[in-house]
């Protein structure tokens, strides 16, 4: 049965995050031929509406206000609630990102509706869609079916492929005006960490370092390899605890959960808490000088050796391929 589905778009510094396009693809599967409406909340954001249409949105609704310049739980929930009231959808999809993890349970509880979080795949074969999500830190998967009622879905970035971009596709664009009041948090300034390059949670390639990297300088070859492959640098908590890198790079149970196409683990032992954040990566390469290291149990390719020998060799070889 076809459904009307709202999909929340996410921007960062004026650009749409990839997960916005993946959420549209997820919305299409849930809508089953029904309407997929992208909702864009912020201030001065209208430049990107055509991109949402090109990636499959049938309509775009914007909510703009100076108070929505930065994300706040109160502001964005007021904005999205106004669109939900106007459109009365059957499903609402957003990324399983910091924003989605904050907003979805808050609104689901406010509206007394369902929430399926951290969805990595959707089976839509005409019946009610089945939402597949990892449980027990990725060791097993469960399938959930929601029979009726409004349901919030958060999708894990990098798992549900976006649709092919179709430039010139047309779709309606309208706006909803909302009086944003009673903000309990006012963000005065956002100070960004001095990390450059690709966003770790959306990176297709991650080169991660552990305690085996031994120092802050030890991360330099990993960064060079990541840059060469268009990827991002990540880390184990061991490396963060040792002060070799910032905690924003931590991957694992208490860090970021990532699913890149390629994960290269360098000097990481493979503790269960680390694997909870990366074991669903599509291809895992592990470099470790201990042949018994646990990380080899999840690796597709294992290299037993010193990372300070192996990583420069990889850089050399990838440079040849790139030329
Ligand atoms: P180690 O276990 O010390 O391993 C270093 C590895 O480097 C070894 O295997 C060694 O053989 C190899 N090595 C050394 N030198 C070289 C070299 N020159 N070349 C190649 N290999 C080399 N950890 C996380 O990562 N993420 C989390 O989110 C997380 N959450 C946690 C939550 C809780 C509640 C707890 C209790 C722990 C958590 N941990 C987490 C910590 C986790 O248990 C491990 O302690 C941590 O992952 C170990 O990091 P590591 O693999 O870098 O270090």
Q: Ligand 1 mean position to 236 CA, how many Å?
A: 6
Q: Whose C-alpha lies nearest to ligand 1, atom 14? A: 212
* Per-residue pLDDT, 182: 86
Q: Ligand 1 mean position to 239 CA, how many Å?
A: 7
* Per-residue pLDDT, 149: 85
* Best mutation site among 239, 267, 272, 289 for ligand 1 pocket (most ligand atoms within 8 Å of CB): 267
Question: Taking a C-beta distance cutoff of 8 angstroms, is the pair 213, 267 a contact?
Answer: yes
**The token pair that represents 214 in the structure block:** 């031994």
How far CA 246 is from CA of 192, 197, 212, 237, 323, in Å, comes to: 13, 15, 16, 10, 33
Residue 287, annotated as binding a ligand: no
Residue 98, annotated as binding a ligand: no
Question: Taking a C-beta distance cutoff of 8 angstroms, is the pair 208, 284 a contact?
Answer: no
* Best mutation site among 215, 288, 306 for ligand 1 pocket (most ligand atoms within 8 Å of CB): 288
**The token pair that represents 179 in the structure block:** 């009086």
Spatial neighbors of 292 by CB under 8 A, at least 6 apart, are none
How far CA 12 is from CA of 9, 97, 266, in Å, comes to: 10, 12, 29
Residue 253, annotated as binding a ligand: yes
Question: Topology of domain 4-176, per CATH?
Answer: Rossmann fold (3.40.50)
**The token pair that represents 51 in the structure block:** 């991109």
Q: Whose C-alpha lies nearest to ligand 1, atom 37? A: 273
* Per-residue pLDDT, 196: 62
**Spatial distance between the Cα atoms of 183 and 154, rounded to a whole number of angstroms:** 24
Nearest-atom index, ligand 1, CA of 211: 52
Compute, in degrees rounded to 10, the torsion defined by CA atoms 271, 273, 276, 278.
-60
* Per-residue pLDDT, 85: 97
* Per-residue pLDDT, 43: 94
Domain with CATH 3.40.50.620 in the chain: 4-176
**The token pair that represents 103 in the structure block:** 């907003």
* Per-residue pLDDT, 218: 97
3-state secondary structure of 307: helix
Question: Taking a C-beta distance cutoff of 8 angstroms, is the pair 315, 228 a contact?
Answer: yes
Q: Is the CB of 260 under 6 A from ligand 1?
A: no
* Best mutation site among 212, 239, 313 for ligand 1 pocket (most ligand atoms within 8 Å of CB): 212
* Per-residue pLDDT, 12: 87
The architecture CATH gives domain 205-322: 3-Layer(aba) Sandwich (3.40)
Q: Whose C-alpha lies nearest to ligand 1, atom 27? A: 252
Question: Taking a C-beta distance cutoff of 8 angstroms, is the pair 135, 141 a contact?
Answer: yes
**Spatial distance between the Cα atoms of 261 and 204, rounded to a whole number of angstroms:** 5
Q: Which helix (H) or strand (E) holds 263?
A: strand 262-266
**The token pair that represents 59 in the structure block:** 């309509």
For Cα atoms 102, 104, 107, give the angle at the middle one, nearest 5 degrees: 110
Q: Whose C-alpha lies nearest to ligand 1, atom 38? A: 273
Sign of CA dihedral 289, 315, 158, 194: positive
Residue 272, annotated as binding a ligand: yes
Q: Is the CB of 279 under 6 A from ligand 1?
A: no
Q: Is the CB of 253 under 6 A from ligand 1?
A: yes
Question: Taking a C-beta distance cutoff of 8 angstroms, is the pair 26, 160 a contact?
Answer: yes
| Tens of pLDDT, residue by residue, the chain (323 residues) | 789 999 999 998 889 999 999 999 999 999 999 999 999 999 998 889 999 999 999 999 999 999 999 999 999 999 999 999 999 999 999 999 999 999 999 999 999 999 999 999 999 877 789 999 999 878 899 999 988 889 999 999 999 999 999 999 999 999 999 999 989 988 888 887 766 667 888 899 999 999 999 999 999 999 999 999 999 999 999 999 999 999 999 999 999 999 999 999 999 999 999 999 999 999 999 999 999 999 999 999 999 999 999 999 999 999 998 65
| Reported pTM | 0.83
CA 253 to chain centre: 15
Residue 96, annotated as binding a ligand: no
Spatial neighbors of 97 by CB under 8 A, at least 6 apart, are 10, 17, 19, 154, 157, 201
Q: Is the CB of 308 under 6 A from ligand 1?
A: yes
Spatial neighbors of 180 by CB under 8 A, at least 6 apart, are 65, 67, 68, 75, 78, 79
């Amino acid at each position: 049965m076809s459904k009307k589905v709202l999909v929340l778009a996410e921007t960062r510094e004026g650009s749409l995050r990839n997960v916005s396009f993946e959420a549209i693809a997820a919305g299409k599967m849930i809508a089953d031929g029904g309407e997929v409406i992208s909702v864009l909340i912020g201030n001065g954001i209208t430049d990107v509406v055509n991109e949402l249409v090109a990636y499959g949105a049938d309509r775009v609704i914007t909510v703009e206000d100076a108070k929505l310049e930065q994300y706040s739980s109160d502001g964005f929930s007021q904005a999205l609630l106004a669109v939900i009231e106007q459109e009365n959808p059957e499903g609402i999809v957003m990324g399983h990102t910091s924003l989605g993890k904050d907003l979805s349970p808050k609104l689901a509880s406010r509206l007394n509706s369902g929430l399926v979080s951290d969805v990595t795949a959707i089976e839509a074969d005409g019946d009610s869609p089945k939402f597949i999500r990892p449980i027990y830190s990725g060791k097993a998967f469960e399938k959930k079916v929601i029979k009726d009622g409004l349901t919030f879905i958060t999708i894990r970035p990098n798992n549900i492929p976006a649709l092919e971009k179709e430039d010139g596709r047309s779709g309606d664009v309208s706006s909803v005006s909302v009086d944003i009041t009673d903000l309990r948090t006012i963000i005065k300034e956002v100070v960004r960490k001095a990390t450059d390059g690709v966003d770790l949670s959306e990176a297709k390639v991650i080169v991660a370092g552990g305690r085996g990297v031994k120092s802050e300088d030890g991360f330099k070859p990993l960064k060079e390899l990541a840059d060469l492959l268009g990827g991002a640098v990540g880390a184990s908590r061991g490396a963060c605890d040792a002060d070799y890198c910032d905690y924003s790079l931590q991957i694992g149970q208490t860090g970021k959960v990532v699913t890149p196409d390629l994960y290269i683990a360098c000097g990481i032992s493979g503790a269960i808490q680390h694997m909870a954040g990366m074991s669903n990566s599509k291809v895992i390469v592990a470099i470790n000088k201990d042949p018994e290291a646990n990380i080899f149990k999840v690796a597709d390719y294992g290299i037993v050796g010193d990372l300070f020998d192996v990583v420069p060799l990889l850089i050399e070889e990838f440079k040849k391929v790139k030329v």
